Amino acid sequence: MEATPALVADRLRYSYRRFPWSRGRLALRDVSLRIAVGELHLLAGANGAGKSTLLRILAGLERPDGGRVTLFGLESGDREVLGRVAWLPEASDAESRLTARESVELFAALYGFRGAQRREQAERALGEVGMAGHARHQLRRLSKGELRRVAVAQTLVTGAELLLLDEPLDGVDPEASERLLELLTARCRAGASVLLSTHVLLDGRRGGDVLTVLDAGGVVASGPPSVVLERDAEGTPISFAELLRRARGRT
Amino acid sequence: MTPIRGGALRRIAFVARATARDLFTGQSTALVILALIGFAVALGDLRAASAAERHVLALRQRLELVVALSATAAVLASAHAVAEERRTLAFARLLTTPLRPFQGLAAKTIGVFAGVTAIAVPIEVALLLVPSSGLLRQRELFAPREQVAPALVETTRPGGERLRWRRGPALLDAGATLLFRFERDAAPELELVLPFVRASGEPGAEPLRWSLSIGGSELLAGRGVDDGSIVAPLSRAERGPVVATLRGLSGDEVLTVDPAACILRGPPGPILGSVARAAAGLVTLVFLASALGAGLAAALPAVLASAAAGCLLLLATLRSLLVDVARALEDPHAHVEPATRAVAAAMERLLSFLPDVARAAAATPISLGTAPWRAADVIALALALAFALAACVAGAAWLRRTAGGVR
C-alpha cells in the first residue's frame, strides 16, 4: 500500500480579483502537484509564473477558485495540519530589531519548544544555515542573503514535516546556496518533505528529487530533474529560457 | 524532531515579548525624549487660587501629559507594528503557524502595551513621588473622599413659586430658598460643601444675609460671600435622606450658587486609592490605544489607522464635554436650527456607546477631594477593555479574510 503523500494539489485554479464579482487575472490554471514524504521538490518558473501564489494556496492562506489541496491526507486549513507545515514567504523582515537568535527562537516557541530545548534548537538551526556567528546581530543589520538564511533557519527550527519555501535562495551566494540545498536534502532523507520555489533554474545534479516548471500559471514540465532538464547535443543542460521556449512550443 | 505542543497563552506571550523587545530597542529613546519634553512643558506656570490648588493642578497636568503621550505612542507603535508585519508578510506567516489570527493580533497589542507602559509607569510613579511636588507633599489633598451628589435641588422664589433645578447656576436672593436633598443617612463624619459662584448687586448694595439648616435645625448663618464656599460638618447621625436648606433672609445682593458642585463629602481615605485609580486609568487607556491602533492597522494603512484610532480616543476622552454640548443644543429653549438639534441628538446617541475614558484616565482621579472607587469607574474601565477586545476581534476577522492582510 502506498504511503500517504505529504501534499497533493489537484487541478488548482486561481485568479487575482479586485472585487469578488470582477473577472480578474488568471494566476493558476489547473495546477496539479504531488509531493511524497521525504521528497525535495523544486518549483521553478520565471517572474510572475504563479509560484508564490501556489505556495500561499498550499500554505492555506489563499482559497483556490477551483481544485483541492490535501496535506498528509487532511484538507488544507484543517487544524491538525497546523504545526506540521511551515511556510517561508518571499519577503524578509529587514527592519526588525530582534537578533537572529531571538527571531529563530520565536518560531521555535510558536511550534511548542520550551526553555533550554528552544535555545538549543535555535542555535542548531542557525549553525546549520551557517549563521551561528551572526546569532547576536539584529536582523536589520544583516545583508539580503544573510536574512534569507536566517529565514530558512526560522523554518527549519519548527520541526515541521512539510516545508514550503518561497525563494529561499534569493540573494544567497552560490556557496551558501549549495550548502542550503545539501541541508534540505539531508532533512528530506530524515523524513521531511520540501517544496522549494526559485526563479532561477537549478542544476539538477545538485539536488532535488522532482522538478516542476511553472509558466504563466500552468505546469509546463514536471519530473526528475535529469529528465526535465534536457541536454543539448554536447550533453550540456539547456538554459532555463531555452527550456521554457521548448515547453511553450510543445504546449 | 517532534515539537512539544504548547498552549495558546505561551505562544501569545512569546510573540508579545518579541514585539515589546523590538519596540523597546528601537523606540524607547524617542519615547523617553518625548516624555521629557512633555514634562518640561508641564512645568510652566499655572493660575490657581492658592498654593495648594496650584500644587494639585500642576501634578494633574503633568500626569495628563504622560497619559496623552503614552496613548499617542501606543497608537503609533501598534499601528506601525501591525502594518509592518502585513507589509513583510510576517503576519501572513504567523497565521500559518499554530497561532490564530486573534492570538497574533492580541499578542501584538499586548507587546506594544507592555513596551509603552514599561516606560510610562516609571515616569508616572516618579511624578507622583517627586518630594517637592508629588503626592506626598500635601497628601491630604489627594486622599480620596466619598462624594454624594444631591438627588433633588429645588428653588422656591420669594412669591412661593417652586422650581426643580436641572442645570446651570441657581440664584438666591432675599426671601428665596434653595433645597438640596441627598439620598444618604446623615453621619457625623460627613460634611456639606456648598460653593458660591459669586455675589452680584448694585454698588453699595446691602450684602445678603443667609442661613443654612439641615433637617430643620439651623446650622450656619452669614452675610454675603467671604471665602467662596460653605463647608458645614453634619453634627449627628440620623436615618433617612439629608435635606439642606439655604435661605436668603434679607439684603439687596443676589448670590449665585452652582448646585452641581454641592456635595456631601466623607472623611479622607487612604492615599493609595488615588494612586491605584491613576495607575488603572493609565494602563487601561494605553491598552485601549494599543488595541485600537492594532485593530485598525489590520485593515488600513498605518497613517490612516493611527489617525482613526486617535480620533476615536479623542472622542472617548472628551465624551463628558461633548455630551454636555449635545444636551445644551438639544434643549428646546436653545436658539438653534432644527438640523443642529438633530445632529446634537445623533451625537449624544453615538457618544452613549463610547466608554467615558476621561473618567478612567490617570490624571482625573488625582484631584482635590477626589471620590473613591465607584461602580461607574469600574464600568468605564471594563467598557474600555471591551472596546479593546472588540477592536482585536474585528482586526483578526479581517486578517483571516485577507490572508494576513496581504490581499
DSSP string, B32-80: HHHHHHHHHHHTS----SSHHHHHHHHHHHHHHHHHHHHHHHHHHHHHH
Cell numbers that stand for A62 in this block: 489563499
Most A CBs within 10 Å: which of B19, B28, B93, B112, as the mutation test of the A interface? B93
pLDDT value for B50: 72
The pLDDT, as a whole number, for residue B95 is 82
CB contact under 8 A, B88 and A159: no
CB contact under 8 A, A111 and B98: yes
Assign B2 to helix, strand or coil. Answer: coil
Mean pLDDT check: name the lowest of A47-61, A106-120, B25-39, B95-109: B25-39
pLDDT at residue A190 above 60?
Answer: yes
Q: Which domains does chain B have, with CATH numbers?
A: 8-141+270-402 (no CATH), 147-265 (2.60.120.260)
Neighbours of A135 (CB within 10 A): 18
Q: pLDDT below 50 — which residues of chain B?
A: 1-4, 362-363, 368
Is B29 touching A (CB cutoff 8 A)? no
Nearest to B14 among A59, A61, A109 (CB): A109
* CA distances from residue A9 to A16, A61, A64, A76, A213 in whole angstroms, order as listed: 19, 15, 11, 10, 15
Please determine, for residue A126, whether its predicted confidence score (pLDDT) is greater than 70. yes
- Smallest Cα distance from A202 to chain B, Å: 26
Q: H or E segment at B9?
A: helix B8-42
- Pick the residue of A22, A61, A69, A137 with the most B CBs within 10 A to test the interface with B by mutation: A61
- Cell matching residue B343: 445632529
Residue from A83, A91, A88, A133 nearest A108 by CA: A83
Question: How is residue B100 written as a grid cell?
Answer: 490564530
Asked if B84's CB is within 8 angstroms of A95's CB, the reply is: yes
- For A47-58, the DSSP string reads TTSSHHHHHHHH
Instruction: State the ipTM, two decimals.
Output: 0.81
* pTM exceeds 0.80, yes or no: no
Closest partner CB to B92 (pick from A61, A97, A109): A61
Decide if B367 contacts B60 (C-beta within 8 A): yes
pLDDT band at A8 (very low <50, low <70, confident <90, very high): very high
Question: Could you give the CA distance from residue B11 to residue B17 in angstroms, rounded to a whole number?
Answer: 10
Distance separating alpha carbons of residues B93 and B84, to the nearest angstrom: 13
Give the closest of A56, A96, A112 to B22, CB-based: A96
Determine the pLDDT at residue A183. 92
What distance, in Å, lies between the first and last C-alpha atoms of chain A? 35
Taking CA–CA distances from A52, the nearest residue in chain B reads: B89
Which pLDDT belongs to residue B362? 46
Q: How far apart are the first and last CA of chain B?
A: 34
Cβ B403–A89 below 8 Å, yes or no? no
Amino acid at A138: Q
For A17, name the nearest residue in chain B, comparing CA atoms only: B407
A83 close to B (CB below 8 A): yes
Residue B149: how many other CB atoms lie within 10 Å: 16
**Ordered alpha helix ranges (H), chain A:** 51-58, 100-110, 115-128, 144-156, 174-189, 225-228, 240-250
How would you classify the pairing of strands A210-215 and A40-45?
A: parallel
Listed in sequence order, the DSSP H helices in A17-114 are 51-58, 100-110
Q: Which amino acid, one-letter code, is at B30?
A: A
- Please report the pLDDT score of residue B1 as a whole number: 44
Does the beta-carbon distance from B96 to A95 stay under 8 Å? no
Query: Which of A130-134, A241-245, B26-30, B276-280 holds the top average pLDDT?
Result: A130-134
Residues B362 and B282: beta-carbon distance below 8 Å: yes
Amino acid (one-letter) located at B261: A
Q: Do B14 and A96 touch (CB under 8 A)?
A: no
Name the nearest CA neighbour of A43 among A148, A168, A167, A196.
A196
Give the integer Cα–Cα distance in Å for A104 and A122.
6
Contact between residue B42 and residue B58 where contact means Cβ atoms under 8 Å apart? yes
Q: How far is the alpha carbon of A231 from chain B, nearest alpha carbon, in Å? A: 38
- Chain B residues in contact with A183 by the CB 8 A cut-off are none
The span from the CA of B103 to the CA of B82, in Å, is: 13
The rounded Cα B385 to chain-centroid distance in angstroms is 15
Distance (Å, rounded) from C-alpha A168 to C-alpha A55? 13
| A185 contacts A156 by C-beta, under 8 angstroms | no
Handedness of CA B320, B324, B326, B327 (dihedral sign): positive
The neighbouring-strand residues paired with A88 are A165
Report the residue of chain B nearest A190, measured CA to CA: B1
> What is the distance between the alpha carbons of residues B81 and B96, in angstroms, rounded to a whole number?
19
Q: How far is B69 from chain A (nearest CA, A)?
A: 23
CA distance A90 to chain B (A): 8
Kindly give the residue spans of alpha helices, DSSP state H, lying in B205-318.
272-297, 302-317
Q: Is the pLDDT of residue A79 over 80?
A: no
Give how far A111 is from chain B: nearest CA, Å.
6
Under a CB-based contact definition with an 8 Å cutoff, are residues B76 and B384 in contact? no
- Which chain B residue has the Cα nearest residue A19? B407
- Write down the pLDDT at residue B118: 86
Contacts of B10 in chain A (CB under 8 A): 109, 114
Going by the DSSP 8-state scheme, the letter that residue A233 receives in this structure is T
Instruction: State the number of CA atoms in the 13 A half-sphere of B108 facing the CB.
Output: 36
Give the single-character DSSP code of A23.
Answer: -
Q: Is A53 on the interface with B (CB under 8 A)?
A: no
Amino acid at B18: A
Give the residue from A71, A23, A31 showing the smallest Cα distance to A51: A31
Residue B107 · residue B68 · CB < 8 Å: no
Instruction: Output the CATH code of domain A37-62+82-247.
Output: 3.40.50.300
Which residue in the set B10, B18, B89 is minimally distant from A98, CB to CB? B18
Spell out the domain ranges in chain A. Answer: 37-62+82-247
Phi and psi at B156, nearest 5°, equal -120, 120
Distance from CA of B400 to the nearest CA of A (A): 8
Residues A109, B11: C-beta atoms closer than 8 Å: yes
Q: How far apart are alpha carbons B194 and B32 in whole angstroms? A: 43
Nearest CB to B96: which of A59, A91, A159? Answer: A59
Q: Quick one: pLDDT at residue A18? A: 74
**Which phi-psi region, left, alpha or beta, contains residue B203 (left: φ > 0; alpha: ψ -120 to 50)?**
beta
Residue showing cell 440664584: B171
CB contact under 8 A, B88 and A93: yes
Q: Which residues from A are below 8 Å from B94, CB to CB?
A: 110
The pLDDT mean for chain A works out to: 86
Under the banding of pLDDT at 50, 70 and 90, the label for residue A189 is: very high
CA B279, B303, B12: angle at the middle one, nearest 5? 50
Count Cβ atoms within 10 A of the Cβ of residue A24 and give its class: 0-12 exposed, 13-18 middle, 19 or more buried. Answer: middle
